[in-house]
Homo-oligomer: A and B are copies of this chain.
Amino acid sequence: MSTEHASPSSGLSKARVEALTDGIFAVAMTLLILDIKVPVVADAAQLPRELLSLWPKCASYAVSFLMLGIYWVGQHHQFHLIRHTDRALLWIDILFLMTISFVPFSTALLSTYPHEQSAVIVYGANLITIGLILFGHWSYATHGRRLVDAQLDERTVRRASRRILVGPAMFGLAIAVSVYSTAAALGIFALVPLWYLVPGKIDQDVGRAR
């Protein structure tokens, strides 16, 4: 229990950082729905068609919800292996949450302008930043086994790093591709969550390390 609720190295317990994290993820994920507005129609007969025309908004909602789910799982995995927190880690966490809270905006932007490259860039840059901060979080915590178990396997550390960096790499690719086709970029965004759904070796590592 003690590693769960308290950290020997600072006044900042893992439990409360997790509580703030879970809260911000819960709000950000739920705020995504505010982007889907009830259609205003003069003639009720138009409602079915108007509802069908909401599908890009619904697709954006689903993709961003899953993206946030992926990053939530990622932060979660790291915190299970992290034993202590310190002030630097806490501020990395707060920067991470700042970029998470930004997702409802970048999602609404992309769902409003799905064919504009600038919208693709903002959305992709938002996701890349989240991924890089999460990578920095992991690097900081594991460098010299600063905040994790001294026995933590080097292969686990590297596998987790690689897994985190797949996201930013794919999002960078999406931005590059958007020069030629925003539709292809959107396709890449939609595929990334599917890739993360597949369990990787890291799952066994995390299971073992617990």
Question: Can you give 5 contacting A-B residue pairs, CB < 8 Å?
Answer: A8-B210, A11-B207, A13-B76, A29-B97, A69-B91
Among the 9-residue stretches A108-116, A132-140, A168-176, A184-192, the one with 4 or more Cβ atoms under 8 Å from chain B is: A108-116
Q: Are A20 and B20 in contact (CB under 8 A)?
A: no
The size bracket of the interface on A is: 35 or more
List the 5 closest pairs (A to B, CB-CB), nearest first. Answer: A23-B26, A11-B206, A27-B30, A69-B94, A19-B22
Contact residues in B for A13 (Cβ distance below 8 Å): 76, 80
Please give the residue numbers on chain A whose beta carbons come within 8 Å of chain B beta carbons, in ascending order. 1, 4-6, 8-13, 16, 18-20, 22-34, 36, 38, 44, 47-48, 51, 61-62, 65-66, 69, 72-73, 76-77, 80-81, 87-88, 90-91, 94, 97-98, 101-102, 104-105, 108-109, 112-113, 115-116, 118-119, 122, 197, 199, 203, 206-207, 209-210
Residue numbers in B under 8 Å from A97 (CB-CB):
29, 65, 69
